[in-house]
Amino acid sequence: MFTFTNRIRVLSLIFICIACILVIKLYIVQVVNHENYLNLGDRQYIKKNSNINDRGDIFFTKKDGSHIVAATMKDDYTLYINPKSFYKIMGTKTENQALADLKNKVSALLKLDKDEILDLDTKVLKIKDKKNDVYFELIKGLDENDQILIKELKLDFLGLGKEKKRYYPGNELASNVIGTIGFKVDIIAGRYGLEKQYENTLARHSKAYSNFFVDLFSNAKKVISDKGSLEGNIYTTIEPAVQKELEKKVLQINNKQSSDLTGAIIMDPYTGEIIAMAKAPTFSHDDNKDFDISNYKNDMVESSYEMGSIIKPLTMSVGIDTDKVHANSTYNDAGFVKVRDRTMYNFDKKARGLISLQTALSQSLNTGFIYIARLVGNDVMTKYFTSFGMREKTGIDLPNESSSLTNNLDKGDVEHANISFGQGIALSPVGTIRALAVIANGGHIIQPHVVNAVKYEIGNTDKVKIESLDNKSPLLKASTIEEIKSMLVYNVDKVLLDGKRKNPRYSIAAKTGTAQIASQKGGYVDGKNIHTFIGFFPAYQPKFIVFIYTVDPKVSRYASESLANPFLDLSDFLIQYYEVPADR
């Protein structure tokens, strides 16, 4: 039986529990969701111009681990006039004088440029036809400082509408990775890049009033069952200073070569973290004048190309790993090879006689790699190339990844001969860098990614798990990796640009490629090529792997002319910026 004292204790415990719940609820309302409720309050008193009121942030990650904003929400103000009130207090001035004074006062206060003044002048003249209206918009897109200035005028007939807008502080910086938002039917949502990929995480659907217990237990259920439906912020692997440098270099290449398009990726070959990904032409979030929908496409993920001679190191690796050939193995180069009913040539159709495979790699001779493909056999070559991830998507955390076109791996001698020197199969740029990272990182397939963490509003953080390569069996022998790296370092030290840009303190491994561009009608487009370049450094324990390509360059004939110097410039920048220890 309960005594009176026990009843009092039970009742006290119940009241304490209720009090604790109320305190927690008040904390959530006043502290955790303060900004949300403030925004909801604002929306009761302003004209609503869009249906986006809040959205999660996206961040860049600097080399020291700190973060800066790549995408966020920003207060945006619209200046409006109450024409009815304006005409009531116009005073003794004529209509034209009053309107002119209004225009001059506002344009001087906000320091408008010529185009903005002309636009305001047009708007002010329309006020004459709105005398009985109470709302007419004059200027959109004002910021916090502008609205303070307008308020200081203390003109009752002028008002400010506030709305939340998506704001990208870097404008074009990593815009193809970050993406943008836009209307999806009648709802604003992520349309490209991370904005699209993480729409469910970034979107906000908060309500002004909700049941505390429903929120508590529904969120708990989401954590257990579906993290993708939780609201949160995105933290990327993109390093802003490196991204800026890469974008500058890519634009220089594209302009200098008059190319259709140029793209590049910088990645950690061991973790798959993409430090920078750039394309030219791209788009700026602030640029609405030259709208070109094709600029919004992330070509590094969404397109596939035949990559040419940068595939040759993979063919060489297969030959070395099966012990069929080595760097000093020789063959007779006749300048061409007949494969069934096809004749395949070197780039210059010249014969060089008895030469080593190191020479074939350094001079990018197709005949040497057809020779290797014949020695290892079609089935073995297909097995290795499949293990390098060539037949599957990378699964990168960006939308619309292109599929590889590798059906020729299932065909015969002609197709495998073509594949051996990088024609006949098509890969996405991100798929290409992943495949070649197998050589850089010691024989492992890694997961390319541009996001390293998602921090959810309820407090927990979901970090990308990087699988240790030490626990995985390599796809190639350690001796194979060492030999092919040595061949690629020799290529930079002795052959690329005649060895004039050899780095005496750092080993750099690299290979150029030039490939014909496939036609949608079959065959190849006459006179059109893609230049490609792969490199990693320091070669024997690389910190970075870099892939650059440029589509249909009109100036230089070969990738060694168009891409070698830009790559070496980037390697110098990365070594200095990250203070990479010398390995020579």
Query: Measured between alpha carbons, how far is 22 from 497 in angstroms, rounded to an integer?
Result: 73
Question: What CA–CA distance (Å, rounded) separates 503 from 408?
Answer: 39
Measured CA distances, 253 to 77, 129, 569 (Å): 40, 54, 12
* 390's tokens: 């060539």
End-to-end alpha carbon distance in the chain: 85
Residues 6+ apart with CB under 8 A from 484: 313, 316, 317, 320, 439
For 21, 53, 198, 395, 454, the CA distances from 228, given in Å and listed in that order, are: 28, 20, 8, 16, 10
490 SS3 class: helix
Nearest to 60 by CA among 198, 217, 243, 215: 243
Q: What percent helix, strand, coil does the chain show, rounded to 5? A: 45, 20, 35
Residue 432 tokens, joined: 């290409």
Q: Give the three-class secondary structure for 48.
A: coil
Token pair 């203070």 in the structure block, residue: 579
Q: In the CATH scheme, what is the code of domain 240-283+305-577?
A: 3.40.710.10
- When computed from its CA atoms, the radius of gyration of the chain, rounded to whole angstroms, is 31
For 417, the token pair is 């001969």
**Domain 74-167 class?**
alpha beta
For the chain, the residue count is 584
* Confidence at residue 47, expressed as pLDDT on a 0 to 100 scale: 44
Smallest CA-to-CA distance from 254 within 560, 574, 548, 571 is with: 548
CA distance 116 to 489: 57
Helix (H, G, I), strand (E, B) or coil at 114: helix
Q: What is residue 216's predicted lDDT score, i.e. its pLDDT?
A: 47
Burial class (CB in 10 A: 0-12, 13-18, 19+), 45: exposed
Cα(322)–Cα(377) distance, integer angstroms:
11
Which one-letter amino acid corresponds to residue 42?
Answer: D
Look at residue 80 and give its three-state secondary structure.
strand
Q: How far apart are CA 476 and CA 480, in angstroms?
A: 6
Query: Helix 366-376 crosses helix 312-321 at what angle (to 10 degrees)?
Result: 40
* Alpha carbons 261 and 236: distance in angstroms, whole number: 25
Peptide bond into 581 cis (omega under 30): no
pLDDT value at residue 30? 60
- The rounded distance, in Å, linking the Cα atoms of 128 and 401 is 54
Instruction: Determine contact, residues 335/350, Cβ cutoff 8 Å.
Output: yes
Show the low-confidence residues of the chain (pLDDT under 50).
Answer: 1, 38-50, 207-225
Let me know: does 189 contact 391? Beta carbons within 8 Å.
Answer: no
Cβ–Cβ under 8 Å, residues 150 and 109: yes
How far is residue 16 CA from its own chain's centroid? Answer: 51
CB 320 within 8 A of CB 488: no
Can you name the residues that pair with 509 across neighbouring β-strands? 536
Beta strands 353-356; 336-339: pairing state: unpaired
| pLDDT tens readout for residues 273-292 | 999 999 999 999 876 555 68
- Return the domain boundaries, the chain: 74-167, 240-283+305-577
Question: Is-above-0.75 flag for pTM?
Answer: yes
In the chain, the amino acid numbered 419 is I
Return phi, psi of residue 351, to 5°: -90, 145
d(Cα 502, Cα 506) in Å, to the nearest integer?
9
- Indicate the DSSP class of residue 221: H
Q: Which is nearest to 571 in space by CA: 494, 491, 503, 481?
A: 503
The confidence score (pLDDT) of residue 349 equals 94
244 with 277: CB under 8 angstroms? no
Nearest Cα residue to 265 out of 73, 449, 3: 449
Phi-psi region of 65 (alpha: psi -120 to 50; beta: other; left: phi over 0): left
Closest CA to 274 of 437, 461, 467, 454: 437
Write down the pLDDT at residue 93: 82
